[in-house]
Amino acid sequence: MIRIAAVGDVHVDKDVVGRYRPALEELPDRADTLLIAGDLTRHGTVDEAKCFATEFGGLGVPVVVVLGNHDHQSDQQDDVTKVIEDAGITVLEGSATVLELNGHRLGVAGTKGFGGGFAGACASNFGEREMKDFVGTAERYAEDLERALKSVECDALVALTHYAPVPETLVGEPLEIYAFLGCYQLGRSIDAAGAALALHGHAHAGSERGRTPGGVPVRNVAHPVIKQAYNVYQLLSEEVDTTLVGAR
């Protein structure tokens, strides 16, 4: 059995340091790892990254993250990544890691992803250079995710993105902005690799549960959606146990 804690869109800055920590201190009793689905900071500055590292570092379980669009706002994403990695946190972008947990190998592949829309309402690689750049960017992130997912050998595989791979977990958001919240190419990559679970954030007003066209469970773990410090998902269960150890 592996228990995965997950949250996204924590948007840490000085005013948030300490808010998550009481729940995070309990995390090792409740889960084997923590995955964070992007938007770690407000504006993507080095100072904010240090605040994130302070809040989410040194937990006693492996922490794996992807960046989100907010983490790119100041064009300092490389410096932000370094600060977070220096705190012992793994940052994925078109890459993967394997965690040895409870005798199992958990593979996690991640990317920020990008927008573009979904079947029936998606952007096409056509016309102005700006539009082709937009769609080409989405395709590149999806291709990198698929390559990363297929690169690992493990007992269970999780896809971690910031942008959504399916429209079902966007329900609650205005239809007009779906194309800025995710793209179908991410879902196609997840199906091609056969993941056990896909986690994303970004859609604060979206819904928690969906599935890819190929049937992979998708969970939107944006903090305003789950409304707690993190959710916990159980994979590779020997038996179903929905009570958390240490829960009060």
Partner 1 sequence: MTNDTDLEAEIQRLLTEHDRIAEQGITVQRRDHLIVLGGEVESAQRRDEICRQISSHFPELEITCDIGITRAQAPSEVEEIS
Residues that bind partner 1 (CB under 8 A): 3, 10-12, 15-16, 19-20, 22-23, 26-27, 30, 42-43, 70, 73, 196-197, 204-205, 217, 223-224, 227-235, 237, 240-244, 247-248
CB of 136 to partner 1, least distance (A): 24
CB of 16 to partner 1, least distance (A): 5
- By beta-carbon proximity to partner 1, the closer residue of 119 and 247 is 247
CA dist., res. 105 & res. 157, Å (int): 9
Q: State the nearest-atom distance from the C-beta of 11 to partner 1, in Å.
A: 5
The dihedral over CA atoms of 6, 83, 28, 22, expressed in degrees to the nearest 10, equals: -90
Q: Specify the residue, 26 or 79, whose C-beta has the smaller distance to partner 1.
A: 26
Q: Which is nearer to partner 1, 3 or 200 (CB)?
A: 3
Q: How far is the CB of 164 from partner 1 (least distance, A)?
A: 14
Q: Decide whether 132 or 204 has the Cβ nearer to partner 1.
A: 204
Q: How far apart are CA 134 and CA 150, in angstroms?
A: 25
Smallest gap from Cβ 9 to partner 1, in A, equals: 8
Distance CA 108, CA 100 (A): 11
Residues near 58 by beta carbon (within 8 Å), at least 6 away in sequence: 87, 88
Phi, psi of 187 (to 5 degrees): -65, -40
- At closest approach, how far in Å is the CB of 106 from partner 1? 12
Nearer to partner 1, 119 or 240 (CB): 240
Helix segments in 103-183, DSSP class H: 129-150
39/144 with CB nearer partner 1: 39
Report how far residue 95's alpha carbon sits from residue 146's, in angstroms, rounded to the nearest whole number: 9
Residue 190, both tokens: 């997840």
- Only one residue has tokens 């896909």, namely 198
d(CA 191, CA 79): 32
Side chain identity at residue 225, one-letter code: V
* Helices 129-150, 184-193: inter-axial angle, 10-degree rounding: 20
Nearer to partner 1, 129 or 227 (CB): 227
Minimum separation from the CB atom of position 209 to partner 1 (A): 9
